[in-house]
A and B are shown apart, each in its own frame.
Chain A
């Protein structure tokens, strides 16, 4: 399999001296194309920091992140932003939809920001897969939590990114809705051929992935394929 995502010796330190916090302390991992990986760890283990690094939202103290063989931190801010909107989709715990845009506009936002033509058929398929056909015109405030998270997943998939990063995507949802959303996430990933890295502290949800990476105190404890 092709390695789509690779980190080497990734470190992120905050502060200095005695107060120094090692959020990430030398993480090296590789993810194959099309894989569904979950990252599990306790609060403060560094898993969110890792995800931010993988997505290029934050710059590491040391180490590299390569996506599709490209060192993303070699790019300047605007170049990285553009790279991100073309190659990486995000799903957050708090949905983070743009409140002033309706569901469909939120989904299309990354494509529009890029100024590209919308692949109508593909978007239709996503919307249909995620069961949002009825809610296109609704503003985020008018949607339930589960619906909002499905819009967020649709948005993450819209630009056909090679990698989808999900940070506690079900953290604000009840367990039934959580399972629904995760199921949809997995199905979408399979159907649209995307690599998914998901953070969770829920072992049960983590089991849905093909591979689980345990992280504690900024280090990987073990990563096994199921």
Chain B
């Protein structure tokens, strides 16, 4: 029975759709615009998340959901049976390469199955995985470090030790891939046969030092979904009958929700969703409220005949869902494209770097469609109830000519409002605009939304304080270094790139105030006894932060400790650079004269991976640091002060898992390490000479020595402008679409209202209102909407805008709120024009039908 009576409702819905073509068009466009907004926002969010996820995976070193560490073959085979796992693959750790040339990058030697290598972004793109006993596959980056051409069949020498036994072996290159400098460790793949011969698989792993884990299995695995990985991992271990803690595991934090969406992004996203939902509600509600009012007789009639409220609601909903069938897909496509176009702007801001990849995550479309649908359902509730609640008698009365009661009421209102205006058409226009206060409110809100957003974006951009932004970034007017130093993606940095020629040029610059050279050694430092003690304590303190995914950094740290050798950045800095270090609020003052005397060194704390200050140090104040130069000479320096950190802008701009630095004065550095070129030269010139200096430096780096690059105030200013542009582009685009929705809503309301009143207007003309007066009246009506919109946006709107700005930019450290109404002022003229034009165009169309014909119309 239900099915049967739905059929007639469908017929009625279809026919009523056919009858309301204008409404359909407006509804389709309104729904499409709403869907565009949702899709754009979700696509931007999705692209952002997938870019961050990509970057995180590269840092983690694999795309797999998680890994089980240090397994025996029997354990691995057992885990592989688990129904909880979707896919599993493994590799076997042999050791870490000890070639001098590979010291700078942790290079791990393993056997790997194909899948595990693929998931780890380390699968040969040329050639194949090692098959023959003495074959090897590695990345181009590793080959470069070894100075071996990218050619299959090349001989690759490898040094490593397993359980105290040292190996010097030569392998044949069977395959290679590009390699990724962002990944924390490089992988070198060997054959299974060779692996088994040097690192027999342990039957039990209890000692988690390098010696203990050599030959054990690292399993990479995938679950069904990426949510709750920590719990899934624990469940898997329990399911196979192990006690908690018995099996070591790691979870890929690229999949952790907390790691991908920070609170600010979440707030901005939530605000955007609410804004779009509201804007969509205003127009869709308005379209259907008007339509139901116009068709009230139709609903009343159906009710008289016996349609229930539910059935009438279903008709109204059907009228909205049918346009949604066209509107939502169109909106999804346009919104996705828009998101694709805008994404690079957003990603350029996040310092992730790398190519922007458009995420085609189906969730983007699912969410966008779901929210669009939700908007429609919410918007149609009230119009549906209006149709359902219609009283049959009221509806019938509409048919009768005597609309006496309603007319009388209207006239009364008109008279009361008449006192407001002076000219007759103006007075009537105000009365007309105020006839339906709810309609008026909706249009004003709808038009205001885009203006509020626009003002907010403008005041966000306006509030970005360049001084504040530059304060941290720019420590000198200029810095010059080999371009690889500035690039996060370069593999082999040249730390001795500033040639004598450019230094002479700088020295000869007019207006030069000060300059300094910064020398650098990416050292492998042999710790003193005291240093070893300090480092062991430091590793104990940092252990929770070092529990990584693949090989525990802690394992690496253990290796460091056993050998007593750690990576160490050694800088030699001129006085100007020392002043920059001393200027950091967290750093102590530096007595440069004492530092330059020859016996002293500055020690910087180990950077904590969570970015907090106050990490542990390797050498404390007064302790002796033994440094060794290339000639093998060892000299001891006393720690003069402990720095919290070494300033990034004048650093080698790359990091290690365990980062610490020692700083000598430039003269001491050169005396000890021998003469070499600086990594970087920084200098200030008098303000008036900055443009000339910049021009000279730019042309020098472009023409004379293209391997050099420089940073200047204008570079950071451009970066700053780029960021402002991102806000302008995205915020501006969303504002424009919101504006389109508002305008469409206004035009629809005005057009339907004039159309509904065409008889009333004909009556006015028949009793002597001239076309000119009528036009003035309609024009005033339209303009009154514009005026109210501007008033609303300037008052209540600026309060809402303040909250929006807070949500978007509140967390940005170089943002200062400033009050502005410039966008409002700029919007006044276009708004007035649109609000004046719509009714006039509508009147022109109406005038085509003669007064008599209009009077006759029912």
Contacts and interface: CB of A to CB of B under 8 A. Distances in A.
Interface of A: 52, 55, 57-58, 77-78, 81-82, 84-86, 90, 92, 94, 96, 98-101, 105, 108-110, 112-117, 155, 159
A154 B663 CA distance: 102
B310 interface: yes
Contacts of B311: 113
Contacts, number: 86
Nearest to B1: A115
B688 interface: no
A135 to B, nearest CB: 18
B856 to A, nearest CB: 15
B302 A98 contact: yes
A113 B392 contact: no
Nearest to B405: A14
A124 to B, nearest CB: 19
Interface of B: 1-8, 11-12, 15-16, 18-19, 298, 301-311, 391-393, 396, 399-400
Contacts of A94: 399-400
A52 B301 CA distance: 13
Nearest to B389: A77
Contact of B19 (A55, A82, A100, A117): A100
A113 B306 CA distance: 7
A109 B309 contact: no
A98 B304 CA distance: 11
A22 B311 CA distance: 34
Contact of B306 (A58, A85, A98, A101): A85
A114 B306 contact: yes
A81 B303 contact: yes
A20 B310 CA distance: 35
Contact of B396 (A96, A98, A105, A114): A96
Given A81-B303, A81-B306, A82-B308, A57 B1 contact: no
Contacts of A100: 12, 15-16, 18-19
Nearest to B858: A94
Given A78-B309, A98-B302, A112-B7, 18 more contacts: A57-B392, A57-B396, A58-B393, A81-B309, A85-B305, A94-B399, A96-B399, A99-B19, A100-B12, A110-B306, A113-B8, A113-B307, A114-B306, A115-B2, A115-B4, A115-B6, A117-B4, A155-B305
Contacts of B301: 96, 98
Contact of A57 (B4, B304, B399): B304
- A-B interface, 3 closest residue pairs, ranked by CB to CB distance from nearest: A85-B306, A115-B5, A112-B8
Nearest to A97: B301
Contacts of B15: 100-101
A110 B305 contact: yes
A112 B396 contact: no
Contact of B310 (A55, A78, A98, A101): A78
Nearest to A77: B309
Residue of B1, B3, B396 contacting most chain A CB atoms (<10 Å): B396
A77 B308 CA distance: 8
Contacts of A84: 304, 306
Contacts of B304: 55, 57, 84, 90, 96
Contacts of A78: 308-310
Contacts of A114: 5, 306
B7 to A, nearest CB: 7
A105 B10 CA distance: 13
A98 to B, nearest CB: 6
Contacts of A105: 11
A113 B393 contact: no
A4 to B, nearest CB: 19
B585 to A, nearest CB: 72
Given A52-B393, A92-B396, A155-B305, A116 B310 contact: no
Contacts of A92: 396, 399
Contacts of B18: 100
A21 to B, nearest CB: 11
A58 B392 CA distance: 8
